[in-house]
Structure 1
Amino acid sequence: MASKSFDMIVIGAGPGGYVAAIRGAQLGLNVAIVEREHMGGICLNWGCIPTKALLRSSEVFHLMHRAKEFGLKADGIDYDLDAVVKRSRAVSKQLNSGVGHLLKKNKVTAIMGEAKLAGKGKVHVATETGHEELTAKHIVLATGARARELPGLEADGELVWTYKHALVPPRMPKKLLVIGSGAIGIEFASFYNTLGADTTVVEVMDRVLPVEDAEISAFAKKQFEKQGMTIMEKSAVKSLHRNPDGKGGGTVTASIEINGSLETLTYDTVISAVGIVGNVENLGLEDLGVQIDRTHVVVDEYCRTGVEGLYAIGDIAGAPWLAHKASHEGVMVAEMIAGQKVHPVRPESIAGCTYCHPQVASVGLTEAKAKEAGYEVKVGRFPFIGNGKAIALGEPEGMVKTVFDAKTGELLGAHMVGAEVTEMIQGYVVGRTLETTEEELMHTVFPHPTLSEMMHESVLDAYDRAIHF
Structure 2
Amino acid sequence: MSDTFDLIVVGGGPGGYVAALRASQLGMSVAVVESTHLGGICLNWGCIPTKALLRSSEIHHLLHELDSYGFSADNIKFDIPKIVARSRAVVKRMNTGVAHLLKKAKVQVFDGRAKLAGKAGEAHKVSITKDGQEIAVIKAPHVILATGAKARQLAGLETDGHLVWGAREAMTPTELPKRLLVIGSGAIGVEFASFYRNMGSEVTIAEVADRILIAEDPEISAAARKSFEKQGIKIITNAKVGPLQKGSNEVSTTIESPQGTVNLTVDRVICAVGIVGNVDDLGLENTKVQIDRTHIITNEFCETAELGVYAIGDVAGAPWLAHKASHEAVICVEKIAGRSPEPLHPLNIPGCTYSRPQVASVGLSEEKAIAAGHKVRVGRFPLMANGKAVAMGETDGMVKTVFDATTGELLGAHMIGAEVTEMIQGYVIARTGELTEAELMETVFPHPTISETMHEATLAAFDGPLHI
CA deviation after TM superposition for structure 1 residue 264, in Å? 2.7
1: CA distance, partners of 2:192 / 2:157: 18
2: CA distance, partners of 1:212 / 1:77: 36
CA deviation after TM superposition for structure 1 residue 145, in Å? 0.3
Query: Does structure 2 retain, via aligned residues, the 8 Å contact 1:400–1:454?
Result: yes
RMSD: 1.2
Equivalent position amino acid for 2:277 in 1: G
Q: What SS class does the counterpart of residue 311 from structure 1 fall into? A: strand
Tell me what 2:244 maps to: 240
CA deviation after TM superposition for structure 1 residue 66, in Å? 0.7
Equivalent residues in 2 for 1:42-61 (5 A)? 42-61=41-60
Tell me what 1:107 maps to: 106
CA deviation after TM superposition for structure 1 residue 286, in Å? 1.5
2: CA distance, partners of 1:411 / 1:380: 11
CA deviation after TM superposition for structure 1 residue 171, in Å? 2.4
Please say if 1:200 is aligned against 2:204. yes
Q: What SS class does the counterpart of residue 429 from structure 2 fall into? A: helix
Q: What SS class does the counterpart of residue 414 from structure 1 fall into? A: strand
Q: Kindly provide the CA deviation profile for residues 25-53 of structure 1, in whole angstroms up to 9, marking residues without a partner as x.
A: 00000100000000000011000000000
Tell me what 2:125 maps to: 122
Equivalent residues in 2 for 1:447-462 (5 A)? 447-462=446-461
2: CA distance, partners of 1:396 / 1:308: 53
Equivalent residues in 2 for 1:116-195 (5 A)? 116-120=115-119, 121-127=124-130, 130-195=134-199
Equivalent position amino acid for 2:229 in 1: E
Q: What SS class does the counterpart of residue 19 from structure 1 fall into? A: helix
CA deviation after TM superposition for structure 1 residue 464, in Å? 3.3
Tell me what 2:434 maps to: 435
1: CA distance, partners of 2:326 / 2:316: 12
Equivalent position amino acid for 1:89 in 2: R
Q: Kindly provide the CA deviation profile for residues 357-398 of structure 1, in whole angstroms up to 9, marking residues without a partner as x.
A: 000000000000000100000000000011000000000111
Please say if 1:212 is aligned against 2:216. yes
Q: What SS class does the counterpart of residue 204 from structure 1 fall into? A: coil
1: CA distance, partners of 2:201 / 2:339: 52
2: CA distance, partners of 1:38 / 1:327: 17
2: CA distance, partners of 1:268 / 1:181: 19
CA deviation after TM superposition for structure 1 residue 289, in Å? 2.8
Unaligned segments of structure 2, at least 5 residues = none
2: CA distance, partners of 1:28 / 1:62: 49
Identity in percent: 60
Tell me what 1:418 maps to: 417
Tell me what 1:295 maps to: 294
CA deviation after TM superposition for structure 1 residue 170, in Å? 3.2
CA deviation after TM superposition for structure 1 residue 3, in Å? 7.7
Pick closer, same or farther for the CA change 1:70–1:435 going to 2, 3 Å: same
Tell me what 1:226 maps to: 230
Q: Kindly provide the CA deviation profile for residues 286-308 of structure 1, in whole angstroms up to 9, marking residues without a partner as x.
A: 22131111110011111111100
Query: Does structure 1 retain, via aligned residues, the 8 Å contact 2:5–2:30?
Result: yes
Tell me what 1:247 maps to: none
Query: Does structure 1 retain, via aligned residues, the 8 Å contact 2:224–2:416?
Result: yes
Equivalent position amino acid for 1:71 in 2: G
Tell me what 1:253 maps to: 252
2: CA distance, partners of 1:465 / 1:273: 41
1: CA distance, partners of 2:273 / 2:4: 41
Tell me what 1:327 maps to: 326
Q: Kindly provide the CA deviation profile for residues 191-220 of structure 1, in whole angstroms up to 9, marking residues without a partner as x.
A: 001111100000111101111001100001
Query: Does structure 1 retain, via aligned residues, the 8 Å contact 2:80–2:174?
Result: no
Equivalent position amino acid for 2:49 in 1: P
1: CA distance, partners of 2:388 / 2:357: 16
Tell me what 2:402 maps to: 403
Q: What SS class does the counterpart of residue 305 from structure 1 fall into? A: coil
1: CA distance, partners of 2:5 / 2:321: 28
Count matched residues.
Answer: 463
1: CA distance, partners of 2:71 / 2:176: 28
Equivalent position amino acid for 1:122 in 2: K
Q: Kindly provide the CA deviation profile for residues 159-209 of structure 1, in whole angstroms up to 9, marking residues without a partner as x.
A: 100011101113211110000000000000000011111000001111011
Q: What SS class does the counterpart of residue 243 from structure 2 fall into? A: strand
Query: Does structure 2 retain, via aligned residues, the 8 Å contact 1:3–1:132?
Result: no
Provide runs of 4+ in structure 1 moved above 2 Å. Answer: 127-130, 260-264
Equivalent position amino acid for 1:416 in 2: M
Tell me what 1:23 maps to: 22
Q: What SS class does the counterpart of residue 234 from structure 1 fall into? A: coil
CA deviation after TM superposition for structure 1 residue 263, in Å? 3.5
Unaligned segments of structure 1, at least 5 residues = 245-249
2: CA distance, partners of 1:288 / 1:131: 23
